[in-house]
């Protein structure tokens, strides 16, 4: 069993200085190379439908393809400033004690600027995460030994290309700036791609990264007043729910066979990923630097509020029930259950798992798929 220090490189999971001290290697890169240690696996068992749940998912995916160029209404004008001003009705300044902080003299202009930059930052991270999903899923096509899973994963590769494409287009045409990949998200993606075991790609990407993304997209979909972003997220979520279900349905079979020692490795990997994703949500160093605010102070004032804490917890509403469905919470004296308790997210364990609820995200009459 590893210590927190061994897993995270720091002894206190909540050490904000350590979280902020991580160097961002992506700032001066044009490409980023990661060693992919896995073997590409051919299978000679071509029996389609040997795994009915995966086959069903594959058939659904083939019918659910959409085209970001024509299905989304790119003629919608996005006025970031106007949207930010409308959101200011709940300006943090109204409820926080800002005396003696860098925010003391902030007026509406500064809060609007912050909102705009945070939007640029959040959408940039979504775009980078989508590229991570594209690469991980291409890897799954190679490494998973089951034909039904290779078939399904190939549809996800197409989905992820479309997601990178629409987020990149939205950033370029509608927003006002890009940010580089967050280093905590980058470290997690590197670890996932680096691992030679095929199930770890699924656990890291489909269960953890995409589980969090599905919750985060859902939250933004609810909150945004921009009809184009609402539509874009609605389409992406319909794919994303299938992707998470793909992880749950594949790993459920595989994890049923693993020993406690093997499960321990998966439990640790899941916890490490959870903490890295929480760190990524805190690490907005580049935004604060751009606005001339000390990052530590910026984070403490805006993110350490009860609302932010609640938002961070809500991001785990998909991950925790999915980990439970995979049997990851209880082995080894309930190690992961305790760890999720420590970071305040275990209360979601009985929420719907995505293997059961993915159909409810499918595009409906409100969001028809192009009939071509
Ligand atoms: Fe995606
Ligand atoms: Fe995805």
Q: Which residues surround ligand 1, an ion (CB under 5 A)?
A: 130, 133, 160, 163
- Ligand in nearest proximity to the CA of 210: 2
Q: How far is the CA of 111 from the centre of ligand 1 (A)?
A: 30
* pLDDT band at residue 9 using 50, 70 and 90 as cut-offs: confident
Q: How far is the CA of 126 from the centre of ligand 1 (A)?
A: 9
DSSP conformation class of 207: I
* pLDDT band at residue 93 using 50, 70 and 90 as cut-offs: low
Tell me what percent of the residues of the chain surpass a pLDDT of 90. 72
Q: How far is the CA of 209 from the centre of ligand 2 (A)?
A: 9
The answer to whether 263 touches 333, Cβ cutoff 8 Å, is no
Angle at 182 between CA 176 and CA 185, to 5 degrees: 135
Q: How far is the CA of 135 from the centre of ligand 1 (A)?
A: 11
pTM tops 0.85: yes
The answer to whether 120 touches 171, Cβ cutoff 8 Å, is yes
Q: How many residues does the chain have?
A: 372
Q: How far is the CA of 364 from the centre of ligand 1 (A)?
A: 19
Residue 367, pLDDT > 60, answer yes
Residues 242-268 have a mean pLDDT of 97
Residues 210-233 have a mean pLDDT of 95
Q: How far is the CA of 165 from the centre of ligand 1 (A)?
A: 10
Q: How many angstroms from the chain centroid is the CA of residue 71?
A: 24
Q: How far is the CA of 368 from the centre of ligand 2 (A)?
A: 20
Residue 11, pLDDT > 80, answer no
Q: What pLDDT, on a 0 to 100 scale, did the predictor assign at position 145?
A: 97
Q: How far is the CA of 82 from the centre of ligand 2 (A)?
A: 31
Q: What pLDDT, on a 0 to 100 scale, did the predictor assign at position 205?
A: 97
Residues 353-366 have a mean pLDDT of 85
- Which residues, 6+ apart, have CB-to-CB distance to 129 below 8 Å? 185, 189, 209, 213
CA distances from 370 to 2, 121, 161, 250 (A): 50, 30, 17, 30
* pLDDT band at residue 13 using 50, 70 and 90 as cut-offs: confident
Q: What pLDDT, on a 0 to 100 scale, did the predictor assign at position 217?
A: 95
Residue 76, pLDDT > 70, answer yes
Residue 365, pLDDT > 70, answer no
Compute how many other C-beta atoms are within 10 angstroms of the C-beta atom of residue 338: 13
Q: Which of 54, 252, 84 is nearest to 153 (CA)?
A: 54
Q: How far is the CA of 137 from the centre of ligand 2 (A)?
A: 9
Q: How far is the CA of 153 from the centre of ligand 1 (A)?
A: 12
Instruction: Please give the Cα distance from 88 to 86 (Å, whole number).
Output: 5
Question: Positive or negative CA dihedral for 356, 361, 364, 366?
Answer: positive
Q: What pLDDT, on a 0 to 100 scale, did the predictor assign at position 372?
A: 39
Q: How many angstroms from the chain centroid is the CA of residue 173?
A: 23
Instruction: Please give the Cα distance from 198 to 202 (Å, whole number).
Output: 7
Residue 369, pLDDT > 90, answer no
Q: How far is the CA of 324 from the centre of ligand 2 (A)?
A: 20
- Ligand in nearest proximity to the CA of 240: 2
Q: What pLDDT, on a 0 to 100 scale, did the predictor assign at position 300?
A: 86
- Ligand in nearest proximity to the CA of 162: 1
- Ligand in nearest proximity to the CA of 163: 1
Instruction: Please give the Cα distance from 361 to 363 (Å, whole number).
Output: 6
Residue 84, pLDDT > 90, answer yes
Residue 371, pLDDT > 50, answer no
């Amino acid at each position: 069993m590893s210590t927190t220090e061994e897993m995270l490189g720091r002894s206190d999971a909540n050490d904000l200085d350590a979280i902020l001290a991580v160097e961002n290697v992506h700032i001066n890169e044009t490409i980023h190379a990661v060693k992919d240690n896995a073997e590409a696996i051919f299978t000679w068992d071509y029996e389609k439908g040997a795994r009915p749940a995966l086959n069903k998912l594959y058939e659904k995916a083939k019918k659910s393809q959409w085209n970001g160029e024509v299905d989304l209404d790119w003629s919608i004008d996005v006025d970031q400033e106007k949207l930010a001003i409308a959101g200011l009705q709940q300006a943090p300044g109204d409820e926080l004690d800002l005396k003696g902080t860098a925010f003391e003299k902030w007026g509406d202009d500064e809060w609007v600027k912050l909102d705009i930059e945070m939007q640029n930052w959040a959408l940039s991270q979504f775009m980078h995460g989508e590229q991570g999903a594209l690469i991980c899923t291409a890897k799954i096509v190679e490494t998973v030994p089951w034909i039904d899973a290779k078939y399904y994963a190939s549809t996800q590769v197409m989905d992820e290309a479309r997601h990178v494409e629409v987020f990149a287009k939205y950033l370029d045409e509608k927003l006002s700036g890009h940010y580089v990949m967050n280093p905590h998200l980058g470290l997690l993606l590197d670890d996932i791609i680096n691992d030679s075991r095929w199930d770890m790609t699924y656990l890291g990407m489909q269960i953890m990264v995409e589980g969090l993304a599905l919750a985060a997209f859902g939250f933004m979909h609810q909150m945004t007043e921009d009809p184009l972003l609402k539509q874009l997220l609605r389409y992406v979520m319909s794919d994303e729910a299938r992707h998470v279900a793909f992880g749950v349905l594949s790993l459920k079979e595989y994890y049923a066979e693993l020993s406690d020692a093997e499960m321990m490795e998966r439990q640790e990997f899941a916890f490490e990923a959870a903490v890295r994703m929480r760190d990524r949500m805190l690490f907005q160093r580049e935004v604060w630097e751009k606005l001339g605010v000390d990052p530590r102070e910026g984070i403490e004032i805006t993110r350490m509020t009860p609302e932010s804490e609640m938002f961070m917890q809500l991001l785990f509403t998909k991950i925790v029930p999915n980990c439970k469905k995979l049997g990851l919470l209880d082995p080894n004296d309930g190690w992961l259950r305790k760890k999720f308790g420590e970071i305040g997210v275990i209360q979601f364990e009985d929420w719907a798992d995505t293997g059961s609820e993915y159909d409810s995200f499918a595009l409906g009459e409100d969001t028809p798929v192009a009939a071509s």
